[in-house]
Chain A
Amino acid sequence: MSESTPSEISVTINGVQVEAEPGEMLIAAADRAGVHIPRFCYHERMSPVGMCRMCLVDVDTGRGPMLQPSCMVPVADGMSVNTESEDTKRAQEGILEFLLVNHPLDCPVCDKGGECPLQDQTMAYGPGESRFVEEKRHYEKPIPISDLVHLDRERCILCDRCTRFADEVAGDPLIHFTERGNATQVLTFPDEPFSSYFSGNTVQICPVGALTAAPYRFKARPWDLEQVESTCTTCSMGCRVAVESSRNELVRYLGVDVESVNHGWLCDKGRFNFESTNSSHRITTPLTRDNDDPRQLLGSDWGSALALAAEAIQQAGPGRVGLIGGSRLTNEDAYAWSKFAKSVLGTDNVDAQLGDGLSAEVVLALPLATIAEACNADTVLVVGPDIKEELAILHLRLRGAATKGQTKVVEIGSTPTGIEPYAHRSIRCAPGESAKALSELLASDDPLAAQLKQGSLVVVIGRASLAESEEPTLSLAASIRAELPHATFLPALRRGNVRGALDMGLAPGILPGRTRLDQPSPALSANWNTVPTTKGLNTTEMLRAAASGDLDTLILVGADPLSDFPDRNLAAEAIQKVKTLIAVDTFITDSVAQADVVLPATAYGEQGGTTTNIEGRISRLTQKITATGSARDDWMIATELAWRLGGDLRLGSKEEIWREIEQVAPSHSGVTLERVESSEAHEGILVQRSSIELDLPAPGTPPVADGYGLRLVSGRKLWDAATTTTYSPSLQPLAEAAALRVHPNDLQRLGISSGTDVRVISTRSTEIITAIADDSIERGTAMLPFNQPGGGANRFIDAAAMVNDIRIETV
């Protein structure tokens, strides 16, 4: 960007000189010059096709004016363009009349009516009246092409946007044109739905109402929508979204095109899980345990619930209290909880991750890359979870970069992933042995080794399998640091604002601003009452302490250890043993159901603030609707609790909190509230400084698997039993039931046929699960999705083990 472009081209558009870049399409140059050329098929994020002919303009390259499609004509020096000539106008009127020849006039019932490019451009450029008196083309009115998307072929103007998106951008070419001529239509293949993780984007880019989204269908009309720009926190990509509501109810999210993050795309989970915010299952009032019937939670009021919570915390004392969670919160809320725990309670037993991520000290110390850097690096090394399942839009960006030849994706893992078809190389290794596989590669004379060593390298790093401990991943990071010191990292942590929570000190041994306990900033020392001196416990340690009776009170801040902690048995034991369990949450999850005090918190769309994505980019969340019931923002709850414990967080609003963060957090200094609220925040403000030194443990070796067991691999799926999915009626059916995938030979050896129930035995549990033969799984391993309905892998996992083995038997 900084280098001067070689030779700018000058074109004349409607008599005005416009500078353009070589290779730029005329329509893009006109857009920059503020001249709008009508279009349907052109989309700046996809290759041009020139199908709709709406963008025909008079182009004169010295041989006299000619009607040319401006989306297909690259600018040339001296080109003279007239977008308002008589010929152009006549062509525009003609094309619109043609488009409307077969387009039904059902605008009143069409979801697009009111914000429809076809309507708008007909008003602006159309002929006013049609001369068509014949019968229009008829098809069956909307047919569902997937669980989320309906297709109305009568409305379709065949612009190729959705089909191009499915093919070029999403890599799921499941919809295409069939038939030809006047009978051309977009369709799925027979018996194969358009089951793409990105199908919702086709609804957004459809220039008519041909594709409609089931969750938004007939929910509102464009003129009664209110819109704010915000950031999606479903995963930690930080995609920019427009949040829309009608009558104080969230009804739709649209992707906002930002160059650095999501290019306007959203995954279906992020796009449609607004339904959970509107859910009738939300916690609306504080709940407390019924004294008469301890199995029941009773509705209460904030005063008594907070008093109960404060009392339990007080009784336990700072050494016997722990706080788990916080990665679904805004930065401000995370800071409030962090300050509450560390400054008011004086405990360092705080962890935003649930034993399923990477140590905060490592995450905060890794040299960070940006997503854009990853997409333009010579090589991207993906070692971690299946990013298509966990960070879907990162997958989309990397896939796009790989297919365009901008970068080469290399992955090391033990199970097939979504990026594999686009990878330059996929290296399979036994679970827990990725570090060994990398070392072997680098020691070989494989040209890939030289490429990794020399070119720019970005490593997407995360826990490849939740059935492994953190250790193999840290070993891998250590060997990358040692052998490929030029590598920069994108930590593939999944939870919404996990990086923001860690930045704000919601981790043992960490203070806000990516500093250790022993290096508080002067501003922080001045502001905070106390700063813990010794490092506290992380989630695993807290649960272990609770299970052995060393913790009295556990505060869950939007955390559900029973579902999300890899070792369910340990979590269950801890929750049972702990004297008081306080939960601050939006839904009654498995863990919340066990709580003694439940405090309702605001959900996405009900709260403002900021969030930080995996690359350290801070962007804004905007409140759109009022809170459900008496739910409160987390920072308010933290402040109230602090009051009742005799402390004062001295925080009065989200803005005030951000001002304090900017002062006390060294990494965030200079990122003032004014900047966060300015237009700069549209792309997000990148904060990558850290004052923590990277210190990685020496690699260990996983135990050798015995000949009878299968080494368990477990990762999350996009559609799983996560809270926001479960409470979104449209998404909930998309989560497949839990099934164990095993190589057919391994199944055959045990005399088990695919699709039958088997008994799965681990050191932790014995359960019955359906086994499916899958030859993409390596022999000797078994894959079980972490959190599918009907049973998660966490029942079989021992958090203390480096790797987990299971055995299967016939029932």
Chain B
Amino acid sequence: MGYLAGFKVTFKKLFEERVTTEYPKEKRPKPPRFHGRHVLNRYEDGMEKCIGCELCAGVCPARCIYVRGADNPETDPVSPGERYGYVYEINYLRCIHCDLCVEACPTEAITESKLFEFSFSNRNDAIYTKDELVVGDDGLPQRQPWELWHEGDDLATSGWMRATAPSGNPDYQNRSGWSGELGYGIRSPEMGQHDRPEPQETDNETEEDGHSGVSH
């Protein structure tokens, strides 16, 4: 009879609610700070935020980012200032989505979307170039043919997601210290972590602040 005792757990679990889902038919909501594939953001005037500083490449533990900077053309600058990212490539066969590049970026140029479902038929496709990473004219990530997109995956990709209080100083809660971006403008800050309100409320607040810009 001893073996029946071994099924005790099994029988008990049989009647509990299941935690597994029927992926990919069924999707679970992603956490707000999900680390998907990267996007390169632009300023409201369309200028690229990336300045080609290579800090992301320097910090990358998987060595999957390749950046080269160049002098901004005087007549038709790509980004504000002297330097712009001339080459920007991420190899997604190597990327571990640790987000250190996003932490390192001094201009909020590189952030991560929630897109993670892509399969490549060749290795070249796995190396995303700057043209593929940079956001489109609507400020949204550009869809690549091999990517599987879901509702809302391409939203909330930008720097405001991580702009919490500088140095954790509560004095700065609800103040924005980052720049506006194409398609969104200057977004209102995320709430402090200790008293985060319900998601619904945040949305309302953003509307009221008038900072929300284009809503998707």
Contact between chain A and chain B defined by CB under 8 Å: yes
Q: Is the CB of B57 within 8 A of A108?
A: no
Q: Which residues from B are CB-within-8-Å of A108?
A: 51, 53, 55, 106-107
Q: Is the CB of A217 within 8 A of B71?
A: yes
- Given A113-B53, A224-B54, the answer on whether A106 and B70 have CB atoms closer than 8 Å is no
A141: Cβ under 8 A from any B Cβ: yes
Residues 177-211 of chain B, each 1 if its beta carbon lies under 8 Å from chain A, else 0: 00000000000000000000000000000000000
- Given A218-B69, A218-B70, the answer on whether A109 and B82 have CB atoms closer than 8 Å is yes
Q: Name the distance in Å between B33's Cβ and chain A's nearest Cβ.
A: 24
Which of A141, A217, A221 interacts with B53 by CB under 8 Å? A221
A142: Cβ under 8 A from any B Cβ: yes
- Given A142-B82, A217-B71, the answer on whether A109 and B58 have CB atoms closer than 8 Å is no
Question: In A216-259, which residues have CB < 8 Å from any B CB?
Answer: 217-218, 221, 223-224
CA–CA, A142 and B83, complex, Å: 12
Q: Which residues from A are CB-within-8-Å of B82?
A: 109, 141-142, 218
Q: Is the CB of A109 within 8 A of B81?
A: yes
Q: Is the CB of B71 within 8 A of A106?
A: no
CA–CA, A223 and B55, complex, Å: 9
CA–CA, A141 and B81, complex, Å: 9
B141: Cβ under 8 A from any A Cβ: no
Q: Name the distance in Å between A213's Cβ and chain B's nearest Cβ.
A: 13
Question: In B49-86, which residues have CB < 8 Å from any A CB?
Answer: 51-55, 57-58, 69-71, 81-83
Question: In A85-134, which residues have CB < 8 Å from any B CB?
Answer: 106-109, 113-114
Q: Which residues from A are CB-within-8-Å of B81?
A: 106, 109, 141
Q: Is the CB of B107 within 8 A of A224?
A: no
**Which residue of chain B lies nearest to A222 when distances are taken between CB atoms in the complex?**
B58
Q: Which residues from A are CB-within-8-Å of B52?
A: 109, 218
Q: What's the tally of chain A residues with a CB closer than 8 Å to chain B? A: 13
Q: Name the distance in Å between B67's Cβ and chain A's nearest Cβ.
A: 9
Q: Which residues from B are CB-within-8-Å of A107?
A: 106
**Which residue of chain B lies nearest to A108 when distances are taken between CB atoms in the complex?**
B53
Q: Name the distance in Å between B82's Cβ and chain A's nearest Cβ.
A: 6
**Which residue of chain A lies nearest to B105 when distances are taken between CB atoms in the complex?**
A108
Q: Which residues from B are CB-within-8-Å of A217?
A: 71
Q: Which residues from A are CB-within-8-Å of B83?
A: 109, 218
Q: Name the distance in Å between B74's Cβ and chain A's nearest Cβ.
A: 11
CA–CA, A113 and B52, complex, Å: 13
**Which residue of chain B lies nearest to A150 when distances are taken between CB atoms in the complex?**
B82
CA–CA, A113 and B81, complex, Å: 16
- Given A141-B82, A218-B52, the answer on whether A223 and B71 have CB atoms closer than 8 Å is no
CA–CA, A664 and B20, complex, Å: 79
Q: Name the distance in Å between B57's Cβ and chain A's nearest Cβ.
A: 7
Q: Is the CB of A109 within 8 A of B69?
A: yes
Q: Is the CB of B58 within 8 A of A221?
A: yes
Q: Which residues from B are CB-within-8-Å of A141?
A: 81-82
Q: Which residues from A are CB-within-8-Å of B58?
A: 114, 221, 223-224
Q: Is the CB of B71 within 8 A of A221?
A: no
**Which residue of chain A lies nearest to B70 when distances are taken between CB atoms in the complex?**
A218
CA–CA, A141 and B54, complex, Å: 21
Q: Which residues from A are CB-within-8-Å of B51?
A: 108-109
Q: Which residues from A are CB-within-8-Å of B107?
A: 108
Q: Which of B69, B81, B107 has the most CB of A within 10 A?
A: B69
Q: Which residues from B are CB-within-8-Å of A224?
A: 54, 57-58
Q: Is the CB of B55 within 8 A of A218?
A: no
CA–CA, A218 and B71, complex, Å: 7
Q: Name the distance in Å between A247's Cβ and chain B's nearest Cβ.
A: 8
CA–CA, A518 and B10, complex, Å: 99
**Which residue of chain A lies nearest to B107 when distances are taken between CB atoms in the complex?**
A108
CA–CA, A633 and B27, complex, Å: 61
Q: Name the distance in Å between A251's Cβ and chain B's nearest Cβ.
A: 11
**Which residue of chain B lies nearest to A109 when distances are taken between CB atoms in the complex?**
B83
Q: Which residues from B are CB-within-8-Å of A106?
A: 81
**Which residue of chain A lies nearest to B67 when distances are taken between CB atoms in the complex?**
A221
CA–CA, A107 and B53, complex, Å: 9
CA–CA, A109 and B51, complex, Å: 7
Q: Name the distance in Å between A219's Cβ and chain B's nearest Cβ.
A: 8
CA–CA, A121 and B55, complex, Å: 20
Q: Name the distance in Å between B28's Cβ and chain A's nearest Cβ.
A: 37
Residues 245-281 of chain A, each 1 if its beta carbon lies under 8 Å from chain B, else 0: 0000000000000000000000000000000000000
**Which residue of chain A lies nearest to B71 when distances are taken between CB atoms in the complex?**
A218
CA–CA, A286 and B57, complex, Å: 38
**Which residue of chain B lies nearest to A217 when distances are taken between CB atoms in the complex?**
B71
CA–CA, A603 and B53, complex, Å: 30
CA–CA, A7 and B107, complex, Å: 58
Residues 746-761 of chain A, each 1 if its beta carbon lies under 8 Å from chain B, else 0: 0000000000000000
CA–CA, A22 and B106, complex, Å: 49
Q: Which residues from B are CB-within-8-Å of A221?
A: 53-54, 58
CA–CA, A401 and B58, complex, Å: 44
Q: Name the distance in Å between B52's Cβ and chain A's nearest Cβ.
A: 7
Question: In B9-60, which residues have CB < 8 Å from any A CB?
Answer: 51-55, 57-58
Question: In B98-151, which residues have CB < 8 Å from any A CB?
Answer: 106-107
Q: Which residues from A are CB-within-8-Å of B53?
A: 108-109, 113, 221
CA–CA, A107 and B81, complex, Å: 12
**Which residue of chain A lies nearest to B69 when distances are taken between CB atoms in the complex?**
A218
Residues 672-690 of chain A, each 1 if its beta carbon lies under 8 Å from chain B, else 0: 0000000000000000000
CA–CA, A771 and B117, complex, Å: 73
Q: Name the distance in Å between B158's Cβ and chain A's nearest Cβ.
A: 19
CA–CA, A142 and B52, complex, Å: 17
Residues 763-778 of chain A, each 1 if its beta carbon lies under 8 Å from chain B, else 0: 0000000000000000
**Which residue of chain A lies nearest to B106 when distances are taken between CB atoms in the complex?**
A108
Q: Which of B51, B53, B57, B70 has the most CB of A within 10 A?
A: B53
CA–CA, A221 and B69, complex, Å: 9
Q: Name the distance in Å between A149's Cβ and chain B's nearest Cβ.
A: 15
**Which residue of chain B lies nearest to A223 when distances are taken between CB atoms in the complex?**
B58
Q: Which residues from A are CB-within-8-Å of B55?
A: 108
CA–CA, A107 and B55, complex, Å: 10
Q: Which residues from B are CB-within-8-Å of A114?
A: 58
CA–CA, A811 and B49, complex, Å: 60
Q: Which of A106, A109, A223 has the most CB of B within 10 A?
A: A109
Q: Which residues from A are CB-within-8-Å of B57?
A: 224
CA–CA, A106 and B53, complex, Å: 10
CA–CA, A392 and B71, complex, Å: 31
Report 6 cross-chain contacts, Cβ distance below 8 Å, ordered by A residue.
Answer: A106-B81, A108-B55, A109-B53, A218-B70, A218-B71, A218-B82
The 5 closest A-B pairs by CB, nearest first: A108-B53, A109-B83, A218-B69, A221-B54, A108-B106
| A contact set with B: CB distance below 8 Å | 106-109, 113-114, 141-142, 217-218, 221, 223-224
Q: A108-B107, A114-B58, A223-B58 are in contact. List 8 more A-B contacts (CB 8 A).
A: A108-B55, A108-B106, A109-B69, A109-B82, A218-B52, A218-B70, A218-B71, A224-B57
